[in-house]
Chains A and B, each alone.
Chain A
Amino acid sequence: TQLLEQSPQFLSIQEGENLTVYCNSSSVFSSLQWYRQEPGEGPVLLVTVVTGGEVKKLKRLTFQFGDARKDSSLHITAAQPGDTGLYLCAGENTNAGKSTFGDGTTLTVKP
């Protein structure tokens, strides 16, 4: 079973601060997804990264896939209270149709 470790587990910051959360594994993934989950709702897909070293931007969110495709990071610039939620990464190591999810980082952005 491939494991995805996310860090930190919890993060509480003030509005306007920058932050980075991490998703690490010893396994190589063919693709990796980031999701955000708000209380009482299901996870919502934010982005997919496929190529080693790939960087994708989604407004104030920057996602990077490691060169070896074993790890990824999510950087948020000037965090806002609306960014509050559980951030989950998920990796697919084959084209078998199944992904492994990390335990997530719970982010709280205080106004």
Chain B
Amino acid sequence: DAGVIQSPRHEVTEMGQEVTLRCKPISGHDYLFWYRQTMMRGLELLIYFNNNVPIDDSGMPEDRFSAKMPNASFSTLKIQPSEPRDSAVYFCASSVSGNEQFFGPGTRLTVL
């Protein structure tokens, strides 16, 4: 089992550019979560999906952030335009039941 796969692992971009983060959940997991982690704010839930449907996006900071899950094996988190304050580690996690979550290795995003 490959676990949750995220790409890229590192992303450095300039302010104003579009950033797309990708996630492949564990096969058979019906829940997919996107988190952001910073030293100041800890681990924050941005959005989660159940059976490819967005259930709660109340954690998405603003309209610059969007997430999609076109099928059970793929999800994207897009930031457009990116800002320096978006710099963080972004994690994707998947779960069978929602509570026991399996995290990917994360994408470290730096916006200059």
Contact = CB atoms under 8 A, between A and B. Distances in A.
Given A35-B103, A43-B103, 12 more contacts: A33-B101, A41-B106, A42-B103, A48-B100, A88-B43, A90-B99, A90-B101, A97-B31, A97-B48, A98-B56, A99-B98, A99-B101
A45 interface: yes
Interface string A76-111: 000000000000101010011111011110000000
Contact of A95 (B4, B93, B98): B98
Given A42-B91, A97-B31, A97-B50, A104 B42 contact: yes
A104 B40 CA distance: 12
A31 interface: yes
Contacts, number: 58
Interface string B72-105: 0000000000000000000101010111111111
Interface of B: 4, 31, 42-43, 45, 48, 50, 55-56, 91, 93, 95, 97-106
